[in-house]
Amino acid sequence: MASPLLPSLLAGLAATALWTASIVIYRIYFHPLSSIPGPPLAAATRLYAFYYNIIKGGTFYLEIERLHKIYGPVVRIAPNEVHLSDPSNYDKIYSIGGKFYKDSVFYSGTGDEYSAFATISNEDHRRRRAPLESFFSRRAVLDLEGVVRDKVAKLCALVQDGINKQQGRAVVDLHAALRAVSMDVITEYAFDSCWDQLDQKDLGEWFSEMGRNVGVSFWVFQQFPFLLGAMKALPVWVARRLGPAMSDMLDCQDRGRRLVEEISRNVEKGLKPRRRTIFHNLLDPEVKVSAAHPRPSVEHMVGEAFAILTAASDTTGNAMTVAAYHVITDPKVYGKLKAELAEVDDGEMSFTRLERLPYLTGVVKEGLRLAYGVIGRLPRVVPQGGATFNGFHLPEGTVVGMSSYLMHRNPDAFPNPALFEPERWINTDPEASRAMKACLVPFSRGSRGCIGQNLAMCEMYLALGTLFRRIPNLAAQDVGELTYVDYFTAHHGEERQKLKVFRQPS
Ligand code: HEM
């Protein structure tokens, strides 16, 4: 005999199917974005993006490139989201004091409510970013350049020592070592408490692994926000058992929390610090305590600290690695760089001196270009009144984004875009130079652009300049073609893509 529940079950299923079908039909044919070109499946569901981000492992940025080839410069990539490829649109969206704000659905995947990076409204963001600005200004970076130089000296010793120990055999994982430089710089620079990853056996690889795993969950939480809520509700001891990445992340946050609490206590007692940290800036009573600018909570500062660490480490480490990889694997590039660096006295290796070297500058810019920074889209919400791009009007509330991956591979600005060519930046005619400048956006632009770019540039010039000045005959094990996956920051796809270096017989 049939169950008495069967008719109700069937009715429920039919209602759900009807409801889903009507949503899909609405999105494809009647939605305000229905006239925007793009695949119907992407118009129907965000699962299209999820499929490439999770099932196809961080490759939605490649799918977006494919869609632009088919549909043109304006493509609907999700029910309420459009992606643009024409570089002339970039400054309309990512501008100083601009009205486009961050997309809450996309950035909710970070699970972070406190940092300037994850803040949605531009007004709140201005308030949260203000106390950090002076800390990362060019002046501040020049004042603390010694921190970067110390870590770079350590890197050179490590590479030299590793090579010597093995009589010239490949032992040093330069990718991990360069990421460790970024971590050691940012922890000492911002917290006055260096994590000394250059001294650790695995060169702090765990942090990058954690970043990659956090990147995977970034896509999952965007799609299934209730999972984030459930995870946050878990007792810490249970969360720790979810896996090493979660446990590493919690350890990281605990370490940040201890630093914040210690500094807060010292500020309360009026103790003068040996050197100001970002927490001193955040707690600075003169600037912040008012109704409009309340003193940040411990959780806020831990969130800010964690965001700064993750924003500073892989991005800078990857850009240096990509540059180093191309120098080491291309004898012509290596030869030109060595010749230029040989003209600089070892005692003169300062950021401002190295910045004036045209070939090294080309190497740094090509490293930034082909490492992409944040490789995928940076989605923003169209403000009141809507916006028009390439003749398509997007109503207020539409999510719109662009990606460094497409900007940096724009063939009009960068002929043969896949090639690492420092020369393209030297003695270029003004028009070509303008086009390249307009398309080079590793740090994004405008009020929501990278706060750490002066520091990143200082690291890149000093690390690459000093390494290749001091060790002029490095070679690399075959790492194959460098490929990327998008877990918000770019990660290399395969385990074998470690940049292991050894010395060539001279
Ligand atoms: C080559 C190295 C770097 C690259 C390519 C890079 C790239 C970027 C990009 C593209 C953004 C915008 C993200 C978005 O719109 O959601 C950003 C934001 C940010 N970056 Fe960087 N970054 C680098 C190094 C650093 C360093 C060294 C720091 C250290 C402080 C840092 C801290 C931040 C912070 C705090 C934000 C959020 C800024 C805000 O929303 O106000 N980054 N970065």
Neighbours of 112 (CB within 10 A): 17
Residue 400: in which H helix or E strand, if any?
strand 399-401
- What is the C-alpha to C-alpha distance for residues 327 and 44, in angstroms, rounded to an integer? 45
Q: Answer yes or no: are the C-beta atoms of 422 and 359 closer than 8 Å.
A: yes
Distance 448 CA to ligand 1 centre (A): 9
| Tokens matching residue 445 | 């632009």
What distance in angstroms lies between residue 146's CA and the mean position of ligand 1's atoms? 22
How many angstroms does the Cα of residue 453 sit away from the middle of ligand 1? 7
- Residue 491: enclosing H or E segment and its boundaries? strand 489-492
How would DSSP label each residue in 29-86? IISTTTTS-S-HHHHH-THHHHIIIIITTS-HHHHHHHHHHHH-SEEEEETTEEEE--
What is the rounded average pLDDT of the residues 33-57? 95
Rounded to the nearest angstrom, the gap between the alpha carbon of residue 457 and the centroid of all alpha carbons in its chain is 15
Q: What is the whole-number distance in angstroms between the Cα of residue 456 and the centre of ligand 1?
A: 9
What does the DSSP 8-state code read for residue 250? H
How far apart (Å, rounded) are the C-alpha atoms in residues 278 and 301? Answer: 9
Is the pLDDT reported for residue 472 higher than 50?
Answer: yes
Q: According to the annotation, is 450 in a ligand binding site?
A: yes
- What is the rounded average pLDDT of the residues 319-336? 94
d(CA 498, CA 106) in angstroms, rounded, equals 30
Within 6 A (CB) of ligand 1 lie 116-117, 129, 136, 186, 307-308, 311-312, 315-316, 319, 368, 373-374, 378, 442-444, 448-452, 455-456
Q: How far is the CA of 310 from the centre of ligand 1 (A)?
A: 9
- What span, in angstroms and rounded, lies between the C-alpha atoms of 495 and 280? 40
pLDDT tens digits along 331-389: 999 999 999 999 998 888 999 999 999 999 999 999 999 999 999 999 999 999 999 99
| Tens-digit pLDDT profile for residues 413-448 | 999 999 999 999 998 899 999 999 999 999 999 999
Boundaries of every domain in the chain: 38-503
Higher-scoring residue by pLDDT: 252, 349: 349
* Percent of the chain at pLDDT exceeding 90: 58
Nearest protein CA to atom 7 of ligand 1, as residue: 443
- Atom 43 of ligand 1, nearest CA residue: 450
Q: Which residues are CB-contacts of 142 (< 8 A; sequence separation ≥ 6)?
A: 351, 352, 458
Q: Dump pLDDT digits (tens) for 382-423.
A: 999 999 999 999 999 999 999 999 999 999 999 999 999 999
Please give the pLDDT value at position 288. Answer: 52
Structure ipTM: 0.98
User: Mean pLDDT over residues 88-100, rounded?
Assistant: 95
Q: With 50 as the cut, is the pLDDT of residue 289 above it?
A: no
- Higher pLDDT: 342 or 265? It is 342
pLDDT single digits (tens) 106-144: 998 888 888 899 999 999 999 889 888 988 999 999 999
Residue 477's CB: how many other CB atoms inside 10 A?
13
Distance (Å, rounded) from C-alpha 58 to C-alpha 177?
A: 24
Mutate to test the pocket of ligand 1, among 315, 445, 458 (most ligand atoms within 8 A of CB): 315
Tokens 């290399």 belong to residue:
492
Token duo for residue 79: 């029910």
**How far is residue 136's CA from residue 151's CA, in Å, rounded to a whole number?**
18
> For residue 27, what is the DSSP state?
I
Percent of the chain with pLDDT over 70: 92
* Average predicted confidence (pLDDT) for the chain: 89
Tokens of 357: 């070297």
Superfamily of domain 38-503: Cytochrome P450 (1.10.630.10)
Is the pLDDT at 226 greater than 90, yes or no?
no
